[in-house]
A and B are shown apart, each in its own frame.
Chain A
Amino acid sequence: MRYSAWEILKQGLTGNAGWKPVWRDPAPKAEYDIVIIGGGGHGLSTAYYLAREHGLTNVAVLEKGYIGGGNVGRNTTIVRANYFLPGNSEFYSHSLKLWEGLEEELNYNVMHSQRGLINLFHSDGQRDAFARRGNAMINQGDDAILLDREGVRRHLPYLDFDNVRFPVYGGLLHPRGGTARHDAVAWGYARGADSRGVDLIQNCEVTGIDIEGGKVKGVRTTRGEIRAKKVGIVVAGRSGQVAAMAGMRLPIESHILQAFVTEGLKPVIDHVVSFGMGHFYISQSDKGGLVFGGDLDFYASYAQRGNLPMKEHVMEAAMTLMPVIGKAKVLRSWGGIMDMTPDGSPIIDKTPVEGLYIDCGWCYGGFKAVPGSGFSFAHLMATDRHHAPAARYRLDRFRTGHGLMDEEGTGSQHNLH
């Protein structure tokens, strides 16, 4: 069914009895051309672009839980293209362009809202760093505007500009940055893939990967064996465990990242805003909740919930920057499992096993990458050639030392990102 204003009117007048489930619930077949492990944002977009860009539809997505139950449904929904280093710059630029056409392409409302993103700075040194980043963004063909203090005040009058320790010096505005509805992105890609013939198989955990003579033959699952010519691993925080089924160890450590949401409020925060002197960023959802987060807890974890120190840090940073939100009540906090690489940048590559590919290492920034990653990973799996915007996301870069992408400039080491 094609969604349109006319369809809503028609369904509304006929008792809304005509809406159908949006994707099928097929039983797994014995064999596919391509099996994608993981039905998160990246697995679903990969399947969609395999079908749409490469005409490959004998494809299954195997998801151990339900579609959208992983990080794709747990993130703070920020979509931006403000990266600095070659490799990341062109990749996220491409991904943002895909976002901009996504709703029309999928015929699905993902509530992509380019409300503008402002990264604040609080010192002369930070201003220089953001000016440089802004120039890199403009060189990449994206948009960036350096705001001085008064420029920031016009957008964000509610900040504590004269905070004694961390006065606001200005901000880097990325007008095309913003947010999207995270679940809707998963659902939109799921619907698009299903309608092109891809089998989305839920409650199907992959428990083994069959390899013969260095070549992948298929997977073992809780719903039986499935043979496949090619297999893609796209399981975010679980990457290490699934790769271990193929005898691989990855340059990945899984960490916890927390987020928070308040009760619904009248509109107050129009943009995405990030603090430059502590770990805090915020936006307001269309339901009115303030959605905010900070940094990793900084220890390996699969718990999907965090500890108190980072909660306190985030709340303190929030109160330092915008005391105006101090009376809002926090409704929920939660955590997701982040697949952290040593340099904080992702991996889209072949593995040493023929026919086995991997897309992982998205750290805390993979939601904005959902369209770009799916597009580039589908290209790699279909053609065996790297897609240009993702060509630097190599699995062996840590071993060779060539092409490390350490955006934060803190060093390519596990506990630093």
Chain B
Amino acid sequence: MRLPCPLCGDRDIREFTYKGGAEYLDRPAPEADDAAWDAYLHLRENPAGATRDLWYHGGGCGAWLVVERDTVTHAVTGARLAADMAEGGA
């Protein structure tokens, strides 16, 4: 598997660390209740098929990426910088 880093180009999966679903970008407010935090930290969509997840390019530019890929075929269809997508950006 290779991931297309927007800054570095196509790079071997060994250069990246996986974090989890892109829902991690939607952090609840600090005062949100425990149900909201439980949902954020633990409960997962866990899709079989198209997914968006977070990867850290530690062996390259050091950026966090949102990768679009398929969990059934391992096809990778795109990647964007997480920094461009935070704060309500799509």
| Chain A interface residues (CB < 8 Å from chain B) | 238, 240-241, 249-254, 298-303, 307, 309, 342, 398-399, 413-415
Contact pick for A398, options B19, B38, B46, CB 8 Å? B38
- Bound together, the chains give a CA A298 to CA B19 distance in angstroms of 9
Residues of B contacting A252 with CB < 8 Å? Answer: 44, 46
Contact pick for B72, options A302, A413, A414, CB 8 Å? A302
Minimal beta-carbon separation of A239 from chain B (angstroms): 8
With contacts A399-B35, A414-B20 known, is A241 near B48, CB below 8 A? yes
Minimal beta-carbon separation of A310 from chain B (angstroms): 10
With contacts A249-B44, A251-B44 known, is A302 near B71, CB below 8 A? yes
With contacts A249-B39, A399-B34, A399-B38 known, is A254 near B46, CB below 8 A? yes
B41 contacts A413, C-beta separation under 8 Å: yes
A299 contacts B18, C-beta separation under 8 Å: yes
A415 contacts B20, C-beta separation under 8 Å: yes
Residues of A contacting B19 with CB < 8 Å? Answer: 415
Minimal beta-carbon separation of A194 from chain B (angstroms): 30
- Bound together, the chains give a CA A117 to CA B75 distance in angstroms of 39
A300 contacts B53, C-beta separation under 8 Å: yes
| Closest residue of A by beta carbon distance from B37 | A399
Minimal beta-carbon separation of B71 from chain A (angstroms): 5
Contact pick for B74, options A238, A301, A342, CB 8 Å? A301
| Closest residue of B by beta carbon distance from A253 | B44
Contact with A along B16-53 (1 / 0, CB 8 A): 00111100000000000011001101111110100101
- Bound together, the chains give a CA A301 to CA B46 distance in angstroms of 9
With contacts A415-B18, A415-B19 known, is A342 near B72, CB below 8 A? no
B53 contacts A414, C-beta separation under 8 Å: no
Minimal beta-carbon separation of A367 from chain B (angstroms): 22
Residues of B contacting A414 with CB < 8 Å? Answer: 20, 42, 44
Contact pick for B44, options A250, A303, A309, CB 8 Å? A250
Give the interface SS of chain B, mostly helix, strand, loop or mixed.
Answer: mixed
Given A254-B71, A307-B74, 17 more pairs with CB closer than 8 A: A241-B46, A249-B39, A249-B43, A251-B44, A253-B20, A300-B21, A302-B71, A303-B71, A303-B72, A303-B73, A303-B74, A309-B14, A342-B41, A398-B42, A399-B42, A413-B41, A415-B19
A299 contacts B43, C-beta separation under 8 Å: no
| Closest residue of B by beta carbon distance from A399 | B38
B18 contacts A253, C-beta separation under 8 Å: no
Minimal beta-carbon separation of A97 from chain B (angstroms): 32
Residues of A contacting B39 with CB < 8 Å? Answer: 249
B90 at the interface (CB under 8 A from A): no
| Closest residue of B by beta carbon distance from A254 | B46
A302 contacts B20, C-beta separation under 8 Å: no
- Bound together, the chains give a CA A253 to CA B48 distance in angstroms of 10
Minimal beta-carbon separation of A159 from chain B (angstroms): 28
- Bound together, the chains give a CA A240 to CA B46 distance in angstroms of 6
Minimal beta-carbon separation of A339 from chain B (angstroms): 9
Residues of B contacting A253 with CB < 8 Å? Answer: 20-21, 44, 46
- Bound together, the chains give a CA A414 to CA B44 distance in angstroms of 9
Minimal beta-carbon separation of A189 from chain B (angstroms): 27
- Bound together, the chains give a CA A300 to CA B22 distance in angstroms of 12
- Bound together, the chains give a CA A415 to CA B19 distance in angstroms of 6
Most chain A CB inside 10 Å of its own CB: which residue of B41, B42, B44, B74: B42
Question: Can you list 28 A-B contacts with CB-CB less than 8 angstroms, sorted by A residue number?
Answer: A238-B48, A240-B44, A240-B45, A240-B46, A249-B43, A249-B44, A250-B43, A250-B44, A250-B46, A251-B43, A251-B44, A252-B46, A253-B44, A253-B46, A254-B46, A254-B71, A300-B21, A300-B51, A301-B71, A301-B74, A303-B73, A307-B1, A309-B13, A398-B41, A399-B35, A399-B42, A414-B20, A414-B44
- Bound together, the chains give a CA A50 to CA B45 distance in angstroms of 31
- Bound together, the chains give a CA A302 to CA B65 distance in angstroms of 21
Minimal beta-carbon separation of B76 from chain A (angstroms): 11
A342 contacts B13, C-beta separation under 8 Å: no
B45 contacts A249, C-beta separation under 8 Å: yes
- Bound together, the chains give a CA A249 to CA B21 distance in angstroms of 14
